[in-house]
Chains A and B, each alone.
Chain A
Amino acid sequence: QLQLQESGPGLVKPSETLSLTCSVSGGPISSSSYYWGWIRQPPGKGLEWIGNIDYSGGTYYNPSLKSRVTISVDTSKKQFSLKLSSVTAADTAVYYCARHVQTGPYKGYPDYWGQGTLVTVSS
């Protein structure tokens, strides 16, 4: 059974960079059938898609966040990572990593999700 697990600091100061890692187990990360992505959910609110990456490192980011987002992959460790720079309180959210079933170029739907990690932006 595929499992994804997020890790990283739960508290980040304003203007700093949020960094999270997702570890994949129970299945391959190097598959052309899937993308690996990040989605966030502010407390009590809805879901916002951040971006995804394929196993070779190709990425697509949500244009609303593109200037601040970097997603990378390390297939040897079966991990992919998220960096979000210049954070503000508006970036406080539960951050989920998720496998996406590929349906087109950097398009797809999440089918497996991590449990999520709350990141709070506060001084």
Chain B
Amino acid sequence: DIVMTQSPDSLAVSLGERATIDCKSSQSVLYSSNNKNYLAWYQQKPGQPPKLLISWASTRDSGVPDRFSGGGSGTDFTLTISSLQAEDVAVYYCQQYYSNPPTFGGGTRVEIK
């Protein structure tokens, strides 16, 4: 299985400041034939299911605010919240869907400083 490692485990950011979460995969999730990274990001608020934010490493899902952006390629990826809002307090997960079984990172908790 591909192991997904997120860092940090948690971070506290002031309102309006930037939050950056890293995700590393144990092998590349870049499919060379279509040059796509098979990586998604999810946001999970307490008591709610995960919500898809980004697929293909950088494609925002419909309705996701543009302060959320995804980047990276191969084995190293980043989720950035450009200007943290109170409603962004949540746990964020990366997930690879390059190979079965799909696997998730351990999650990063984002809080307000």
A residues touching B (Cβ–Cβ < 8 Å)?
46-49, 60, 62-64, 96, 98, 101, 103, 106-111, 113-116
Can you name 11 extra interface pairs (CB under 8 A) apart from A107-B97, A111-B61?
A: A46-B104, A46-B106, A47-B50, A47-B104, A49-B102, A64-B101, A98-B49, A107-B102, A108-B97, A109-B38, A109-B102
A63 CB to nearest chain B CB (Å): 7
A110-B50 contact, Cβ under 8 Å, with A46-B107, A103-B38? yes
B residues touching A (Cβ–Cβ < 8 Å)?
38, 40, 48-52, 55, 61, 93, 95, 97-107
CA distance A27 to B77 in the complex (A): 33
Chain B residues whose C-beta falls within 8 Å of the C-beta of A96 in the assembled complex: 49-50
Asked whether B55 lies within 8 Å of A109 as measured between CB atoms, the reply is yes
Chain B residues whose C-beta falls within 8 Å of the C-beta of A48 in the assembled complex: 104
Chain A residues whose C-beta falls within 8 Å of the C-beta of B55 in the assembled complex: 101, 109, 111
Asked whether A115 lies within 8 Å of B97 as measured between CB atoms, the reply is no
CA distance A107 to B40 in the complex (A): 13
Name the CB-closest residue of B to A116.
B49
CA distance A101 to B49 in the complex (A): 17
Name the CB-closest residue of B to A110.
B52
A115 CB to nearest chain B CB (Å): 6
CA distance A114 to B49 in the complex (A): 7
A–B Cβ pairs within 8 angstroms, 25 of them: A46-B93, A46-B105, A46-B107, A47-B93, A48-B104, A49-B101, A49-B104, A62-B101, A64-B101, A96-B49, A98-B49, A101-B55, A103-B97, A107-B38, A107-B97, A107-B98, A108-B102, A109-B52, A109-B55, A109-B97, A110-B50, A111-B55, A113-B51, A115-B48, A116-B49
CA distance A60 to B101 in the complex (A): 9
CA distance A108 to B106 in the complex (A): 19
Chain B residues whose C-beta falls within 8 Å of the C-beta of A106 in the assembled complex: 100
Top 8 A-B residue pairs of the complex, sorted by shortest distance between their CB atoms: A113-B49, A47-B104, A62-B101, A109-B40, A109-B97, A49-B102, A111-B52, A46-B106
